[in-house]
Chain A
């Protein structure tokens, strides 16, 4: 039968998901019900969680900070998306391209750079205080929320933008013709149609914020957060009783899972499929109005990029420990390359392996999701959604526990890092492949088969060719985001397999700012260059979108 190839592929993906994700996570869940002595089925760890301030406060902090940040991103991103979609602002492609950059770069670099500017002895802090303003520093909840919002608003912006773009002009005109004014039409017709997009983006913001490790670690100043707490428990408790660490992990999974469930429940009845053929109505404005709108848009997308400029500039300055001297110097780079070129190589190597693996698994998975819709496809859909809900720290811990002993020992090797990256990034490739396929007419494949080319060959001769641009963009985004991964790397790295992000993080924590900045700059350039190349060579609208 012609389905054998795809059934086999689906089966392999399932086995991989079960073996590399479900079983490790299940072991964490089971472990959380274990006592210190190894006895089973106790709620002791959860009781401890509720009883100790540090633990339950970490839950409150994680949820609270992420919620406020999600709310802020809506306030920032939705008006921006509206203006970019509906007004004739200048340089739209640049606005969109610039807006994607924060997603590509590690948030803890951003946090650290803000510390340089707004820390206790920050450059701007001093300025503000000399003006008599009561500003203290960026440390604390406010700072974390600000950084999350700046870093993650693109999720909401990009999704809302495509939502606004797909509201057909005629739908709004229909509203207008039935007697509602432009503002009322917007509220009654356009907003409800765009709301699912806004919520999908917001969910991504929330989940990414909950799982973020670097930002609260750097500017949280001992305020407890789930992701940090799991890591702390793991590194301090590994020899003794890991149950507490598992319990925290389970709480984190519950937080992300329930937010996903809430979103799915809400969207269940609100799936407004719209033909993408329509074009939204563009409001033409001229003179100062247009200039003002353009300035507003660029202002919003450029502000979050400030810390990255700062990081690059500082990297060329002389550093003594945490103290910056305003002299030009290549010392940091010389040190970084001479002393430890290994992390650079490791980051590139691991990202490349993970990207290749993600494409090999993700593209067929996306194909099955779209073209082989069946019970298998539905189950795969859920299996592929799972990695989204498992925080990097938790995944790292689960993989270590799973592959520490037994038939397959990976802990301490580079493979466990590549595996973790693949698990985390493959769903993105699968999703983006699936959305490309939705736009590809299935009869193209049938035409090829009817002309005498087998289904499997057709997949390679026709389907893959037509998806190529989208796959390349997806692969570039995967590579770029993988080199800046920290939350699972910090758990999984071992001597000899440290990455740029780990070096940077440890540099920041230990006050070796010079090296941290050099790596930060290398990382920023490593991310920007492929993105620019991709935008130049891949003529594909989706290239700039997630």
Chain B
């Protein structure tokens, strides 16, 4: 096992800068996720680490070993692919043994290790099946066993769950996480699914247009996004572009389309500056009209425009003014408290939970 260091790695396809000087340090045994929209360069970066692509510039280290230039088959990676890539002409057992044979492991050892690996992914008993007799989830388990059985230095997973149905996806990600922790294998995981990334990773790198926007632990990514892109990509949020109009005491007031937003005072912010606010829909509460508020809260008056009932939660869209519309989510709401479209509401939020980004900083 080894950590992975990616240093100033660049990869271009024609005029497109797919990976733009990326530097990453992944610790030994860490579950590291590359997250981003399609075309952000995450798969390209993973394929550079795997050796299917050669970076034009920069270095990749596994521990102290520099691996760029080393062909994939001698690099010591295990890889799991989006579409399983289980060899259709080989049985489950032969698929798992494939990499062991290439390493000239003795027959007895092959048998023992493949049996262990298959037991680990709960496929014991299916050894003699051919891939066309397996379900999608089972195929992905074979692929995982096959990648782990060779005891690679690093495990690379390229959207391994995106071909599975929603329920299985959630189940499998728990299992992958469990396996990775038990084996303590350094893992790079690529996905575009932010929920999956949050649930599975030790750390996440959010990528966009070949650049890394933020590297942090899941809750930091969610609660302290580095920029509006990360804030908007992870979870859902209300992005509001505002102008600061007043700074006094402990309060900063900014407006957008006639709606005033209260925010905690920040150093260096003066009236006239423009900011981007990210207000998560779940920080709002719908409060009775006349209740007095603690100083750290701010309230807005609006009208419910649309309601989307999802069982465990309710999504409202509220019109605050003609141009300002906010998304609000409520959890654990009693049916009697459900609002209807057209209801006037008072929305309350704790000011310190609003994320602010200076517009220039974009």
Interface set, chain A 427-476, CB cutoff 8 A to B? 441, 443-444, 446-455, 457-458, 462, 465-466
User: With A2-B71, A455-B71 as given contacts, are A450 and B87 in contact (CB-CB < 8 Å)?
Assistant: no
Q: Within 8 Å of chain A (Cβ to Cβ): is B74?
A: yes
Least CB distance, B339 to chain A, in whole angstroms: 38
Task: Report the bound CA distance from A248 to B287 in whole Å.
Answer: 93
Task: Report the bound CA distance from A446 to B86 in whole Å.
Answer: 11
Least CB distance, A483 to chain B, in whole angstroms: 31
In contact, B89 and A447 (Cβ under 8 angstroms)? no
- Residues of B contacting A444 with CB < 8 Å? 85, 87-88
- Residues of A contacting B79 with CB < 8 Å? 446-447, 450
Tell me which of A2, A443, A451 contacts B150 (CB under 8 A).
A451
Which chain B residue lies CB-closest to A445?
A: B85
In contact, A446 and B81 (Cβ under 8 angstroms)? yes
User: With A443-B81, A451-B150, A452-B99 as given contacts, are A462 and B87 in contact (CB-CB < 8 Å)?
Assistant: yes
In contact, A441 and B72 (Cβ under 8 angstroms)? no
In contact, B82 and A443 (Cβ under 8 angstroms)? yes
Task: Report the bound CA distance from A447 to B98 in whole Å.
Answer: 10
Least CB distance, B335 to chain A, in whole angstroms: 39
Interface set, chain B 84-103, CB cutoff 8 A to A? 85-89, 98-99, 102-103
- Residues of B contacting A454 with CB < 8 Å? 71, 73
Interface set, chain B 21-78, CB cutoff 8 A to A? 50, 52, 71-74, 77-78
Q: Within 8 Å of chain A (Cβ to Cβ): is B143?
A: yes
- Residues of B contacting A443 with CB < 8 Å? 81-83, 85
Which chain B residue lies CB-closest to A453?
A: B102
Tell me which of B71, B74, B85, B103 contacts A447 (CB under 8 A).
B85
Interface set, chain A 241-265, CB cutoff 8 A to B? none
- Residues of A contacting B82 with CB < 8 Å? 443
Tell me which of B50, B86, B88, B89 contacts A450 (CB under 8 A).
B50
- Residues of A contacting B355 with CB < 8 Å? none
Least CB distance, B150 to chain A, in whole angstroms: 6
Which chain A residue lies CB-closest to B156?
A: A450
Task: Report the bound CA distance from A449 to B143 in whole Å.
Answer: 14
In contact, A450 and B102 (Cβ under 8 angstroms)? no
Which chain B residue lies CB-closest to A466?
A: B89
Least CB distance, A213 to chain B, in whole angstroms: 43
- Residues of B contacting A446 with CB < 8 Å? 50, 52, 72, 79, 81, 85
User: With A443-B83, A465-B89 as given contacts, are A451 and B98 in contact (CB-CB < 8 Å)?
Assistant: yes
B contact residues, range: 20 to 34
Least CB distance, A128 to chain B, in whole angstroms: 57
Residue of B50, B77, B81, B156 ringed by the most chain A CB atoms within 10 A? B81
Which chain B residue lies CB-closest to A462?
A: B87
- Residues of A contacting B73 with CB < 8 Å? 449-455, 458
In contact, B150 and A447 (Cβ under 8 angstroms)? no
- Residues of B contacting A455 with CB < 8 Å? 71, 73
Tell me which of A448, A450, A457, A458 contacts B77 (CB under 8 A).
A450
Tell me which of A441, A452, A453, A457 contacts B85 (CB under 8 A).
A441
Q: Within 8 Å of chain A (Cβ to Cβ): is B280?
A: no
- Residues of A contacting B150 with CB < 8 Å? 451-452
In contact, A448 and B52 (Cβ under 8 angstroms)? no
Task: Report the bound CA distance from A446 to B146 in whole Å.
Answer: 13
Task: Report the bound CA distance from A453 to B52 in whole Å.
Answer: 13
Q: How many residues of A contact B (CB 8 A)?
A: 19
Q: Within 8 Å of chain A (Cβ to Cβ): is B147?
A: yes
Inter-chain residue pair count (beta carbon < 8 A) = 67
Least CB distance, B106 to chain A, in whole angstroms: 16
Which chain B residue lies CB-closest to A454?
A: B73
- Residues of A contacting B146 with CB < 8 Å? 447, 451
- Residues of B contacting A2 with CB < 8 Å? 71-72
Which chain B residue lies CB-closest to A452?
A: B102
Least CB distance, A487 to chain B, in whole angstroms: 40
Residue of B72, B77, B156 ringed by the most chain A CB atoms within 10 A? B72
Least CB distance, B67 to chain A, in whole angstroms: 13
In contact, B88 and A466 (Cβ under 8 angstroms)? yes
- Residues of B contacting A466 with CB < 8 Å? 87-89
Least CB distance, A351 to chain B, in whole angstroms: 29
In contact, A452 and B89 (Cβ under 8 angstroms)? no
Task: Report the bound CA distance from A203 to B78 in whole Å.
Answer: 48
Least CB distance, B239 to chain A, in whole angstroms: 37
Task: Report the bound CA distance from A450 to B46 in whole Å.
Answer: 13
Least CB distance, B352 to chain A, in whole angstroms: 47
Which chain B residue lies CB-closest to A442?
A: B85
Task: Report the bound CA distance from A453 to B82 in whole Å.
Answer: 20
Task: Report the bound CA distance from A465 to B89 in whole Å.
Answer: 8
Task: Report the bound CA distance from A229 to B102 in whole Å.
Answer: 59
In contact, A450 and B103 (Cβ under 8 angstroms)? no
Which chain A residue lies CB-closest to B76?
A: A452
In contact, A450 and B83 (Cβ under 8 angstroms)? no
Which chain A residue lies CB-closest to B152?
A: A450
Task: Report the bound CA distance from A452 to B72 in whole Å.
Answer: 7
In contact, B99 and A451 (Cβ under 8 angstroms)? yes
- Residues of B contacting A441 with CB < 8 Å? 83, 85
In contact, B74 and A452 (Cβ under 8 angstroms)? yes
- Residues of B contacting A452 with CB < 8 Å? 73-74, 99, 102-103, 150
Residue of A441, A450, A453, A454 ringed by the most chain B CB atoms within 10 A? A450
Least CB distance, A491 to chain B, in whole angstroms: 44
- Residues of A contacting B81 with CB < 8 Å? 443, 446-447
Least CB distance, B85 to chain A, in whole angstroms: 4
- Residues of B contacting A457 with CB < 8 Å? 102
Task: Report the bound CA distance from A451 to B78 in whole Å.
Answer: 6
Least CB distance, A194 to chain B, in whole angstroms: 29
Task: Report the bound CA distance from A453 to B75 in whole Å.
Answer: 11
Least CB distance, B287 to chain A, in whole angstroms: 49
Least CB distance, A397 to chain B, in whole angstroms: 44
- Residues of A contacting B74 with CB < 8 Å? 452
Least CB distance, A106 to chain B, in whole angstroms: 37
Least CB distance, B161 to chain A, in whole angstroms: 15
- Residues of A contacting B86 with CB < 8 Å? 447
Task: Report the bound CA distance from A465 to B90 in whole Å.
Answer: 10
Q: Per-residue 0/1 for B330-353: is the Cβ within 8 Å of any A Cβ (1 yes, 0 no)?
A: 000000000000000000000000
Which chain A residue lies CB-closest to B79?
A: A450
Residue of A441, A452, A465 ringed by the most chain B CB atoms within 10 A? A452
Which chain A residue lies CB-closest to B88?
A: A466
Task: Report the bound CA distance from A324 to B315 in whole Å.
Answer: 91
In contact, B87 and A448 (Cβ under 8 angstroms)? yes
Which chain B residue lies CB-closest to A451?
A: B99
Residue of B81, B85, B89, B143 ringed by the most chain A CB atoms within 10 A? B85
Least CB distance, A451 to chain B, in whole angstroms: 3
- Residues of A contacting B87 with CB < 8 Å? 444, 447-448, 462, 466
- Residues of A contacting B52 with CB < 8 Å? 446, 449
Task: Report the bound CA distance from A448 to B77 in whole Å.
Answer: 11
Which chain A residue lies CB-closest to B72?
A: A449
Closest 10 CB pairs of A and B: A451-B99, A450-B79, A447-B85, A443-B85, A452-B102, A443-B81, A453-B102, A449-B72, A454-B73, A444-B85
Write the residues of chain A forming the contact surface with B, with a CB cutoff of 8 angstroms: 2, 441, 443-444, 446-455, 457-458, 462, 465-466
Write the residues of chain B forming the contact surface with A, with a CB cutoff of 8 angstroms: 50, 52, 71-74, 77-79, 81-83, 85-89, 98-99, 102-103, 143, 146-147, 150, 156
Known contacts A441-B83, A447-B86, A451-B73; can you find 17 more A-B pairs with CB under 8 A? Answer: A443-B82, A443-B85, A446-B79, A446-B85, A447-B146, A449-B52, A449-B72, A449-B73, A450-B50, A450-B72, A450-B73, A450-B156, A451-B146, A451-B147, A452-B73, A453-B99, A466-B89
- Can you give 25 A-B contacts (C-beta < 8 A)? A443-B82, A443-B85, A444-B85, A444-B87, A444-B88, A446-B50, A446-B72, A447-B85, A447-B87, A447-B143, A448-B98, A449-B71, A450-B72, A450-B77, A450-B79, A451-B78, A451-B98, A451-B147, A451-B150, A452-B73, A452-B99, A453-B99, A453-B102, A455-B71, A457-B102
